[in-house]
Structure 1
Amino acid sequence: MMETVLKSHYDEQHPHQAEDFHGKHEQNSKLSAGIKKDIEKLYEAVPQLVNVFKIKEKIGEGTFSSVYLATAQLQTGYEEKMALKHLIPTSHPLRIAAELQCLTVAGGQDNVMGVKYCFRKNDHVVIVMPYLEHESFLDILNSLSFEEVREYMFNLFKALRRIHHFGIVHRDVKPSNFLYNRQLKEYALVDFGLAQGTPDTKIELLKTASSEDEQEDSIHHSVQRSVFGERNFNVYSSTYQENSSTKLIKQSKMIDVSSRKLVTKKKIISTKTVSNGAARKAVSGCPSNLTCDCYATDKVCSVCLSRCQQVAPRAGTPGFRAPEVLTKCPTQTTAIDMWSAGIVFLSLLSGRYPFYKASDDLTALAQIMTVRGSRETIQAAKTFGKSVLCTQVVPAQNLRTLCEKLRGTNSSCKRSQGEVLSKSLNDSALPVAVDKQCAPETLGKQTQHLKSFQEGDGALEMKATDMKGWDQVPDEAYDLLDKLLDLNPATRITAKEALLHPFFKDMRL
């Protein structure tokens, strides 16, 4: 038996924090037979836990781990609530060690979760962290005041500034990984299971772990992950891996994309994204003398279909991935976390979550175009070595107009400007290809949620007496949002810069 106990830098404790809530985790809560069995198995796998923790219930389950609520008997006689994260035995040891190092080095301050202990037996590892009672993002989204949103984003940037200072790229920033206790105004960035290091990272183990991830990302990206009990509402069933887009690769004949039936009846915009230079070169599987004859057309030929796919990091959650991730840019920086933070801010300002909901990266890129513009996307892609072709110009939307229309806080959105917005999003079904064929019949389904935004389902009808500051959102908010959703990662605002933005001018660092 091997046991490891790691002390963290996190000394602050909040023994009172979970006592004032709704009795959600009472000791006598009824557990399902399945959860009871899981708890028993955990005790058997890591018997060191038996004499230290009393596991109450399972509060989260994802692809790589399960999270349990437990209490620890302190010497003072008080029972402190803690979160036990049980990593699946198949997790790579180096990845586990890297996650622990992120928590111990960067965690424990500036809204980054710390670690208290770590137990291990054989290939079972349990990380013990402080427990933070938190609200579900979806449950509170439309009840948050504008000032609460401002505080939320300020604290998220503090956490990102902290980890980016240590050269940590989180790679999975989203609401369910940023715990929020609304009553106590406490926050915690969690789950560093997918983190990578920058070239100058101060986390030694990330330097090695990052190379391992590139081989695993293509397998893990489509599986639902949730942390600390909140389901990931943004995940759409990724069945596209089994659909005709996979089967098409096996065909040798020319495939005419434009002839395939689309679910949507709106105008089709065909977009193709390829690596600069790679589009003209045949690779293994094709004779070198074969040239591509589908370039800039609505067809994908057998030469293109047989090419090797570019390998690049592509972790994260659908809907939150930056353009450089979606287009398989091999060089990815802390800027991808800032894009994800921008999507969170977009959801908060618009009152819609998830804002983007795509089953694959190709559709996700198309959806980004409907908001940020096709020309802008094409131009930005050139800066990181990608060539994007689009047969129709899709204009960029005004972010204030978009958010106010979705939230229903400004009657001016109903005028002609709003009509242009509605038409643009409704008419945009964008078949996209990133070094591979994409089945267009799946794309119409994925853009339906954008259409529903404009058709008014669930649109908020706010009373003038209950606007909570949403009728006075300053221009600085949308200026910051624009800088977060900069399509060019090289010029995208950093966490340190965001904290100094005029939007937060009266808030203390």
Structure 2
Amino acid sequence: MATVAPACRRRNESFRIHEDAPSTEDTEMNENLQDEEDREDDDGEEDDENTAEEQYPESEYSESSDEDVVLDSNISHDMERLQDSFPGFRSKYRLIKRIGEGTFSTVYKAEDLQYDRYDNSWDMEKENEKWTPPPLKSLSSQDGHQRRRKPKYVAIKKIYVTSSPTRILNELELLHDLRDCANVCPLITAFRATDQVVAVLPYFRHADFREYFRKMTVLDMSIYLRSLFTALASVHRVGILHRDIKPTNFLYDPETRRGVLVDFGLAEREGSDCKPCMCHDDHAARKARLRAAAERTTMVTANGAIGYPKQDTRPSRRANRAGTRGFRAPEVLFKCTEQTTKIDIWSVGVILLTILSRRFPFFNSADDVEAMIEIATIFGREKMKQAGRLHGCVFETSIPTIGSHGFKLDKIILWSTCRSDAGEKLSDDEEQAIKFLERCLELDPAKRISAEQALDHEFLRMGMDSSMEGTGDAAEDDEMDMLRV
């Protein structure tokens, strides 16, 4: 009787990158990407290297179809160069097509040719294969070849050589640490040849957010966000900020109602490279610092009017502004130097606001100043002033369309869905969704709901009890039916 060799694991307990023989075919500098990382802010300060400045740029994954497509010559050439850059690559993976292209990387769909040789605990589809089909016999053709098993796919992420080595290592280490977290894309393995790094990730079948979000019911929204908050709870539990939550970074399949959080290129550990911000002070200390800041920044003219000095001698404040415009939390816009995991919660709130309003993108600002104006239009001038004071900032605007108290979220939803004029009201489920939305879009991060708290909220538990009823009996009936066949 033949013996079967045990499957081996592709990763060790401690993270390391597999280094292949040197290759220089794929190490040319990408000038456009270099310009992107060296870009400066409008005020003359250099942007943080990790700042994703494009308006809703492509994520790691942008294709939702499993079908192969005809490749143009440039993509085919890039795929050939990538396969030639790593010795033995063609015996391990077969590149199929490009499925995503972002600021720092390109992702390809590939077939895992050596899937059966390894421990594939990362494979979510494998967990669903409860009933394993019998071995396939050879075909009745003359050649006698055996029928090929169903191919297994992975995502090959080619990280551009212009990326910082520190940033690359940070992303791979975080993915390694999150490998056992629910609804989070795990790292299968990684390879390096000279300055070219490639990460191998699972391939997830998903749909384009723009194709299904307008059709979602409130129950669909609850299930969608429950999956996303499950991932965030796992990430935040170990003190990691994703920093770039948006629809294209959460791969969701409406048919299976399962989603996976991807793209940790901008992620960082909470508390790393930060300075104390007054938003974490107690009330008395914050009040004293605000008073001192106001005395330094305002002056009274001869006629008694209050103004601001022409030459501001205060040192400029630098803070991590990484993320995508339209999804950045207020504390990021106010350059808070002590940001927490709550910035991800705000971004999820923007996604929910997008779905409820049926408008994507909901926020469409060109820079941080316009982003503040958009938020102030909703929440009002007074609340934005309070939000600025939390971080030692002064928010002032003379735009007449920005009221003192803003608008209620339910009014915004009715207006955006063209139900205001008809005098329609929100359903009870929509009211519940808006109450949850208010907890996510809280200007004060200390009052904003956490991922753990969100999972216990009644909105995210919508339909859970009814969906669990009778599940066991139905499953047993299905199993008996299969046994009778």
Query: In the alignment, is the contact (CA less than 8 A) between 2:222 and 2:461 conserved in 1?
Result: no
Please identify, of 494-503 and 359-368, the stretch whose mean Cα deviation from structure 2 is larger: 494-503
Residue 482 of structure 1 deviates from its aligned partner by 0.6
Measured in 2, the distance between the counterparts of 1:174 and 1:94 equals 24
Verify: 1:93 aligned to 2:98, yes or no. no
Which structure 2 segments of 5+ residues have no match? 1-8, 15-62, 117-148, 275-289, 469-485
Measured in 1, the distance between the counterparts of 2:325 and 2:345 equals 15
Post-superposition Cα deviations, 1:82-125, rounded to whole Å, max 9, x if no partner, equal 11111111222222222122222223432111111111111111
TM-score normalised by structure 2 residue count: 0.67
- Matching residue of 1:41: 81
Change in 2 beyond 3 A, CA 1:407/1:5 = same
Verify: 1:54 aligned to 2:94, yes or no. yes
Which structure 1 segments of 5+ residues have no match? 10-21, 200-206, 212-274, 283-289, 416-469
Verify: 1:328 aligned to 2:368, yes or no. no
The equivalent position to 1:487 in structure 2, one of 429, 433, 443, is: 443
The equivalent position to 2:311 in structure 1, one of 297, 303, 317, is: 303
Query: In the alignment, is the contact (CA less than 8 A) between 2:109 and 2:153 conserved in 1?
Result: yes
Measured in 2, the distance between the counterparts of 1:308 and 1:332 equals 20
Change in 2 beyond 3 A, CA 1:307/1:145 = same
Instruction: Look up the equivalent residue of 1:162 and give its one-letter code.
Output: S
Instruction: Look up the equivalent residue of 1:324 and give its one-letter code.
Output: E
Measured in 1, the distance between the counterparts of 2:64 and 2:214 equals 24
Residue 505 of structure 1 deviates from its aligned partner by 3.5
Measured in 2, the distance between the counterparts of 1:491 and 1:145 equals 28
Measured in 1, the distance between the counterparts of 2:322 and 2:305 equals 30
Query: In the alignment, is the contact (CA less than 8 A) between 2:64 and 2:207 conserved in 1?
Result: no
SS in 2 for 1:358: coil
Verify: 1:65 aligned to 2:105, yes or no. yes
Measured in 1, the distance between the counterparts of 2:305 and 2:213 equals 43
Verify: 1:318 aligned to 2:325, yes or no. yes
SS in 1 for 2:336: coil
SS in 1 for 2:198: strand
- Matching residue of 1:497: 453
Instruction: Look up the equivalent residue of 2:183 and give its one-letter code.
Output: N
Residue 370 of structure 1 deviates from its aligned partner by 0.7
Equivalent residue runs for 1:104-115 within 5 Å:
104-115=176-187
Equivalent residue runs for 1:187-198 within 5 Å:
187-198=259-270
Change in 2 beyond 3 A, CA 1:64/1:89 = same
Residue 40 of structure 1 deviates from its aligned partner by 1.6
Verify: 1:128 aligned to 2:200, yes or no. yes
Post-superposition Cα deviations, 1:266-314, rounded to whole Å, max 9, x if no partner, equal xxxxxxxxx98667769xxxxxxx98979x999986514x865311110
Change in 2 beyond 3 A, CA 1:346/1:125 = same
Residue 492 of structure 1 deviates from its aligned partner by 0.8
Q: Which has the larger radius of gyration?
A: 2
Residue 186 of structure 1 deviates from its aligned partner by 1.6
Alignment RMSD (CA, Å): 3.3
Change in 2 beyond 3 A, CA 1:191/1:292 = farther
Residue 390 of structure 1 deviates from its aligned partner by 3.4
Residue 6 of structure 1 deviates from its aligned partner by 3.0
Query: In the alignment, is the contact (CA less than 8 A) between 1:48 and 1:119 conserved in 2?
Result: no
Post-superposition Cα deviations, 1:143-179, rounded to whole Å, max 9, x if no partner, equal 2222111111111111111100010001100000011
Post-superposition Cα deviations, 1:29-84, rounded to whole Å, max 9, x if no partner, equal 31011111111221233334222110011111111110000001246554211111
Q: How many residues align?
A: 359
Measured in 2, the distance between the counterparts of 1:354 and 1:297 equals 41
The equivalent position to 1:185 in structure 2, one of 224, 233, 257, is: 257
Change in 2 beyond 3 A, CA 1:163/1:32 = same
Query: In the alignment, is the contact (CA less than 8 A) between 1:25 and 1:56 conserved in 2?
Result: no
The equivalent position to 1:341 in structure 2, one of 343, 348, 371, is: 348
Measured in 2, the distance between the counterparts of 1:75 and 1:325 equals 42
Post-superposition Cα deviations, 1:319-340, rounded to whole Å, max 9, x if no partner, equal 0001110011111100100000
Post-superposition Cα deviations, 1:183-241, rounded to whole Å, max 9, x if no partner, equal 12221101111111113xxxxxxx4xx57xxxxxxxxxxxxxxxxxxxxxxxxxxxxxx
Residue 140 of structure 1 deviates from its aligned partner by 1.4
Verify: 1:380 aligned to 2:336, yes or no. no
- Matching residue of 1:400: 410
Change in 2 beyond 3 A, CA 1:483/1:127 = same
Post-superposition Cα deviations, 1:357-403, rounded to whole Å, max 9, x if no partner, equal 00100000010011111111111222232222234643221111211
The equivalent position to 2:71 in structure 1, one of 27, 31, 35, is: 31
Query: In the alignment, is the contact (CA less than 8 A) between 2:176 and 2:187 conserved in 1?
Result: yes
SS in 1 for 2:106: strand
The equivalent position to 1:169 in structure 2, one of 212, 233, 241, is: 241
